[in-house]
Amino acid sequence: MGAMLTYDSYIRSAFQPISDQYGIPLTTATVNEILKYSRPFGTGLVISGILVMFASGFQLLACCCQSRTFVFGYVIFLTILIAMQVIALGVYFGERNLMTREAGNYIKQGIQDYKQNVNATSVAVLQLIMPAYKCCGYNGGSDFQGSPFPATCCKLGSQNCSSSATSQNSYTDHGCKSMFDVYALASIALLLLQALAALLGLINLTFAC
C-alpha cells in the first residue's frame, strides 16, 4: 500500500477512469499535486515496512546462528520501529490536524478556485478526489453555495443532481475532510500492526532461541 501512494503510475491508473468519465484532464501537474500529499503517508509506510523486513532478517539469523550480534541488531531495528510508532501516535492524538492540514488547505483552495471559475490545477485535483472517495467539498455540499453544484459530487446515474442535490443522489452530506481522517487513522493502524508483528517476533526469539 505504501509504495502505491508514492508512484505516479499508480495514481494515474487509479484516477484515469474518473478522468475519462468526467472529462477532467489528468495532467502531469495534477498527478504531481496528488503525489505531494499522498507520498508522505506512503513513504512512512514503506520505511516502516523495510525496518520490519530487516528486523525479521536479523531475527532469523539470530535464531539460526545463535549470534548475539544479530540479536543486538534485531533489538536496534525494533527500537527504531517502536520509536516511530510512539512519535506517530503522539502526533495523531496530540495534533491530529497536523497530518492532514496541508491536504485540507489544498482542497479548500480548490473549492475557492472552483467558485471563482479559475482554471487551476487545484480544481482538477478536487474534481478527481470527490468521486474517487465519494465525498463533496471539504465539509460537504454546502461549500459550493452560490456556485453551480459540481457534477463530480453526484452519484453515478443520478438524475437532476446538479440542480437539486440530495443525500440520495449525491455525496453532499459527506465532506472530504472525513476521508483525510480515515487515511490518517489507517496509516497509524498499519504502523501499529507492523510494530505488533515486530514485538511478537521478539517474544518468539526469546523463547525459541
Interval 144-188: pLDDT, tens: 998 999 999 998 877 788 888 888 899 999 999 888 777 777 767
AA identity, residue 22? Y
Which residues are registered as beta bridge partners of 154? 170
pTM score, whole prediction:
0.71
Q: Residue 38 and residue 5: Cα distance in Å, rounded? A: 6
User: Which cell is 34 given?
Assistant: 496528488
- Phi and psi of 76, rounded to 5°? -65, -50
Q: How far is CA 152 from CA 96, 119, 127, 166, in A?
A: 28, 16, 6, 14
CB of 188 within 8 A of CB of 88? yes
User: Which cell is 5 given?
Assistant: 501512494
Please state, rounded to an integer, the average pLDDT across all residues of the chain.
Answer: 79
Interval 53-109: pLDDT, tens: 777 777 777 667 776 777 777 777 777 777 776 776 666 666 666 667 888 899 999
What pLDDT shows up at residue 31? 87
* Whether the predicted pLDDT of 3 surpasses 60: no
Interval 179-201: pLDDT, tens: 877 777 776 777 677 667 666 76
What pLDDT shows up at residue 34? 85
What pLDDT shows up at residue 78? 74
The average pLDDT across 106-135 equals 92
